[in-house]
């Protein structure tokens, strides 16, 4: 197919179909509409708190970006019928996951306000005295143990297969595509705002670090385990995705307290804004692919570009 014909198909067929699908989803899922509105105003409120003026542009860009990425995901998965995970012990699994969520919140509180991430001094020598490398290694091992190994072993005991938990490499390339699109948007934004755009030194190491400490473990727990159980109790699967996104946002509660202090409205808005919107996007990606591979890659890259 010639390039001009491919562009014509994209502009005249795929994009209109993606837009139509989005509005159908809004019509059939009122909770999604309410969620997007709350997230928009949450982002705006946090922007107002941080800078003293309206964050409407930031809120609009955040929500619009989510919509565009969702349309890209739908475009490349429209002809794929994702396999449904087999939920063997629905009530027990959901109760277990919700209690484990509370445990993760407590762990996050200790990580932000109590536990040190620095290994004992003698062990630093094993890593050439690099406190930063040692600290990141400890955080990665801690995250893999608590965020992946413990729940993985537990649900294997419940007779769950790896595929039921999203552990497969399907659509890994879609994660790379989302990474490229987001990188282009970030570079253009940085160049327009400051006249220059470049990656930080050591960004590949930061990406690997984010993959193991954030991307993989959070995608496994929130999307691979929690989301299918929430979908199972919802008539509309998107309702399950919305609930998961709210819980994912609340997972950032300790981090927001550490960032904003004891300011309840700002902390809650910080949870229901950017993190929840991102959780919704990652949940939709998992709903369309039933694989945590693309989400793990994009999640790690997003955190590397935005926070490192």
Distance from C-alpha of 182 to C-alpha of 93, rounded to nearest angstrom = 35
pLDDT of residue 308: 62
Distance from C-alpha of 131 to C-alpha of 135, rounded to nearest angstrom = 6
Give the 3-state secondary structure of residue 193.
helix
Task: Give the predicted TM-score (pTM) of the model.
Answer: 0.89
Candidates 110, 104, 89, 116; CA nearest to 150 is 104
**Cβ neighbours of residue 56 under 8 Å, at least 6 residues apart?**
44, 47
Residue 297 CB burial class (10 angstroms; 0-12, 13-18, ≥19): buried
**Cβ neighbours of residue 260 under 8 Å, at least 6 residues apart?**
49, 266, 267, 270
What angle, 0 to 180 degrees and rounded to 10, lies between the N-to-C axes of helices 90-113 and 150-157?
A: 170
Q: Is residue 61 within 8 Å of 189, Cβ to Cβ?
A: no
| Token couple for 65 | 């970006």
Residue 171 DSSP one-character state: T
Distance from C-alpha of 75 to C-alpha of 299, rounded to nearest angstrom = 20
Residue 147 DSSP one-character state: I
Q: Is residue 251 within 8 Å of 105, Cβ to Cβ?
A: yes
Distance from C-alpha of 304 to C-alpha of 275, rounded to nearest angstrom = 15
Task: Report the chain's terminal Cα–Cα distance, integer Å.
Answer: 41
Q: Give per-10-residue mean pLDDT for the chain (308 aa).
A: 63 79 90 94 87 62 82 91 88 93 90 59 45 69 89 91 92 95 84 68 83 94 96 92 97 92 92 94 96 97 84
Q: What are the boundaries of each domain within the chain?
A: 86-307
CA geometry: angle 278, 51, 192, nearest 5 deg? 70
Residue 119 DSSP one-character state: P
Residue 148 DSSP one-character state: I
pLDDT of residue 123: 45
| Token couple for 284 | 């939709």
Distance from C-alpha of 215 to C-alpha of 48, rounded to nearest angstrom = 29
For CA atoms 12, 18, 22, 25, the dihedral sign is: positive
């Amino acid at each position: 197919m010639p390039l001009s014909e491919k562009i014509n198909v994209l502009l005249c067929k795929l994009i209109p179909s993606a837009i139509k699908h989005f509005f159908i989803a809004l019509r059939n899922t009122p909770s999604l509409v309410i969620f997007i509105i709350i997230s928009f105003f949450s982002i705006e409120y946090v922007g107002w708190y941080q800078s003293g003026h309206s964050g409407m542009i930031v809120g609009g860009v955040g929500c619009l970006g989510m919509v565009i990425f969702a349309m890209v995901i739908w475009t490349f998965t429209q002809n794929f019928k994702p396999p449904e995970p087999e939920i063997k012990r629905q009530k027990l699994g959901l109760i277990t996951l919700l209690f484990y969520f509370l445990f993760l919140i407590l762990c996050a509180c200790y990580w932000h306000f109590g536990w040190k991430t620095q290994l004992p001094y003698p062990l630093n020598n094993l890593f050439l005295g690099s406190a930063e490398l040692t600290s990141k290694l400890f955080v990665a091992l801690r995250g893999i143990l608590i965020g992946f190994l413990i729940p993985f072993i537990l649900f294997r005991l419940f007779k769950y297969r790896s595929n039921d938990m999203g552990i497969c490499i399907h659509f890994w390339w879609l994660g790379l595509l989302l990474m490229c699109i987001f990188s282009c948007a970030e570079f253009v934004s940085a160049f327009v705002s400051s006249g220059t755009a470049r990656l930080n030194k050591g960004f590949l190491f930061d990406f690997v670090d984010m993959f193991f400490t954030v991307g993989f473990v959070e995608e496994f727990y929130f999307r691979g385990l929690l989301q299918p159980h929430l979908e199972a109790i919802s008539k509309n699967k998107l309702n399950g995705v919305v609930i998961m996104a709210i819980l994912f946002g609340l997972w950032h509660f300790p981090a927001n307290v550490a960032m904003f202090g004891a300011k309840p409205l700002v902390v809650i808005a910080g949870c229901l804004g950017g993190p929840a919107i991102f959780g919704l996007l990652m949940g939709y990606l998992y709903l369309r692919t039933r694989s945590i591979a693309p989400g793990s890659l994009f999640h790690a890259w997003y955190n590397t570009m935005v926070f490192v």
